[in-house]
């Protein structure tokens, strides 16, 4: 997979480039991975509405065609956009999302942190009180017996550190994931992150990992290259 570190790029610019790349690619086009940061922006997925922005803000709000609801991107957050031909790789969207999560989980593991999935809520979560403990929570968020596909996800004291929202067109992916490194979390107070009321967010610096975005992006790219291509 070709890996490109793009620096800070306005959201609308890269959104258009992703759509153009996907529309123009052929079955022979190599897969790519773009990593960047964005200036402050709220983005709405197909399940979101403008009412998901709970308070007025000067931060732009942009409607997109990815899955999910509302999220925030800003400086201090690594954004990864895998442009993958799923048909050629031989797996489907559900496994693709699992592989994205696994890439983030392994990135956090490499930094000494324990990461969690939550049933019904794509993304990656950490226990902000004890982020390095390998002890299980009272019950694992992805194994609760009382959860089913229609119940509200239970975050059980976890905070979100990575959001996932994807689009697949003709078996090819765009959009992707974010991983919070050191960003200002205040803009999340104006939304229910990913549509979940009361869901808390955190970042690596709060968890004691004092790397910068460039360092984290390199590690994340390594994990994505492994888990998306093998």
Q: In this structure, how many other beta carbons lie within 10 angstroms of the beta carbon of residue 166? A: 21
Q: What are the structural domains, with CATH classification, of the chain?
A: 2-138+156-229 (3.30.930.10)
Average pLDDT for 90-102: 98
Instruction: List, by residue number, the catalytic residues.
Output: 194
Quote the CA–CA distance of 153 and 118 in Å, as a whole number: 7
The pLDDT > 90 percentage for the chain reads 85
Rounded to the nearest integer, the mean pLDDT of the chain is: 93
The pLDDT > 70 percentage for the chain reads 94
Question: Three-class SS of residue 1?
Answer: coil
> How far, in Å, are 44, 59, 69, 119, 197 from residue 154 at the CA level?
23, 29, 18, 8, 11
Terminal CA-to-CA distance of the chain, rounded, Å?
Answer: 11
Report whether pLDDT(149) > 60: no
Residue-wise pLDDT for 155-201, tens only, equals 988 999 999 999 999 999 999 999 999 999 999 999 999 889 889 99
């Amino acid at each position: 997979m070709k890996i490109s570190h793009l620096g800070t790029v306005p959201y609308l610019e890269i959104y258009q480039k992703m759509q153009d790349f996907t529309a123009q690619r052929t079955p022979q086009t190599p897969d790519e991975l773009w990593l960047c940061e964005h200036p402050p922006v709220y983005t709405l997925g197909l399940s979101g509405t403008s009412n998901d922005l709970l308070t007025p803000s000067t931060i732009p709000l942009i409607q997109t065609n990815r899955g999910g609801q509302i999220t925030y991107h800003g400086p201090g957050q690594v954004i990864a956009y895998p442009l993958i031909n799923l048909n050629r790789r031989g797996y489907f969207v559900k496994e693709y999302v699992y592989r994205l999560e696994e890439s983030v989980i392994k990135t956090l593991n490499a930094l000494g942190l324990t990461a969690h999935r939550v049933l019904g809520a794509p993304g990656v979560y950490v226990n902000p009180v004890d982020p390095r403990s390998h002890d299980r929570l009272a019950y694992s968020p992805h194994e609760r017996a009382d959860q089913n596909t229609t119940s509200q996800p239970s975050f059980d004291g976890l905070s979100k550190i990575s959001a996932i929202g994807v689009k697949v067109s003709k078996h090819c992916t765009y959009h992707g994931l974010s991983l919070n490194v050191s960003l200002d979390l205040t803009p999340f107070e104006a939304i229910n992150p990913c549509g979940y009321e009361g869901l808390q967010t955190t970042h690596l610096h709060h968890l004691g990992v004092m790397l910068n975005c460039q360092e984290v992006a390199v590690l994340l790219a390594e994990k994505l290259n492994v888990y998306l291509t093998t």
